[in-house]
Amino acid sequence: MAKRRVVTTTINGRQTEFLCEPRQTLLEVLRDTLDLTGAKEGCANGNCGACTVLMNGRPVDSCLVLGVETEGAVLETIEGVAPVDGLDPIQQAFLENAALQCGICTPGFIMSCKSLLAENSDPTENDIRFYLAGNLCRCTGYDKIVRAVLDAAKKRNAEPAPA
């Protein structure tokens, strides 16, 4: 068996060290080693997006990243999204617009939406559908998800910019 390595990353703002084998994916490390089970395994081949996390600010399928590749990386997972006293506006919008049923795909969708709204604060329906093409949902038919993202963008844009 290949030697295990120590990897140092920042996860949700906290410096985190873990031991992993080269063959372990980031998704396996998050779920099985670090007990961050918010990222889900759907297809395990980069089609469904249920395992989406942000790596150095970019959305990635954590099933297609090796744990050892994240040395020095800044990672954000669904566990770091909500503030201590409530929900992120995107999470709130998903709830209010009933944009989830079984919920397996939701952490991945929320992470992709965070990245979308960071890049484009006023996306059109088409922008949203294109950006979220790498996240599959087998329950909602997507309409409610698209509406939730439009709603989240609208509410964010209505709020005064943080000082």
Q: Could you tell me the CA-to-CA distances from 3 to 14, 34, 96 in Å, in that order?
A: 26, 19, 48
Considering only residues 6, 8, 32, 47, which one is a binding residue for other proteins as defined by CB under 8 A? 47
How buried is residue 71: exposed, middle or buried, by Cβ count under 10 Å (0-12/13-18/19+)? exposed
Q: Which is nearer to other proteins, 6 or 98 (CB)?
A: 6
133, 81 contact by CB (below 8 A): no
Q: Which is nearer to other proteins, 34 or 44 (CB)?
A: 44
SS3 141: coil
The reply to whether 49 sits near other proteins by the rule CB under 8 A is yes
The reply to whether 81 sits near other proteins by the rule CB under 8 A is no
Taking contact as CB under 8 A, which single stretch among the options 56-64, 77-85, 91-99, 153-161 is the one that binds other proteins? 56-64
Separation of alpha carbons 17 and 7, rounded Å: 6
The reply to whether 59 sits near other proteins by the rule CB under 8 A is yes
Considering only residues 87, 95, 102, 133, which one is a binding residue for other proteins as defined by CB under 8 A? 133
In the complex, the smallest distance separating the C-beta of residue 145 from other proteins, rounded to whole angstroms, is: 14
Which token pair is 12?
A: 């949700």
Taking contact as CB under 8 A, which single stretch among the options 44-52, 85-93, 138-146, 154-162 is the one that binds other proteins? 44-52
Q: Could you tell me the CA-to-CA distances from 66 to 29, 50, 70, 96, 157 in Å, in that order?
A: 9, 17, 7, 36, 37
Separation of alpha carbons 122 and 49, rounded Å: 23
Q: Which is nearer to other proteins, 28 or 151 (CB)?
A: 28
The reply to whether 25 sits near other proteins by the rule CB under 8 A is yes
Which residues make up the interface to other proteins (CB under 8 A)? 1-3, 5, 21-25, 44-47, 49, 52, 55, 58-61, 63-66, 68-69, 112, 115-116, 129-135
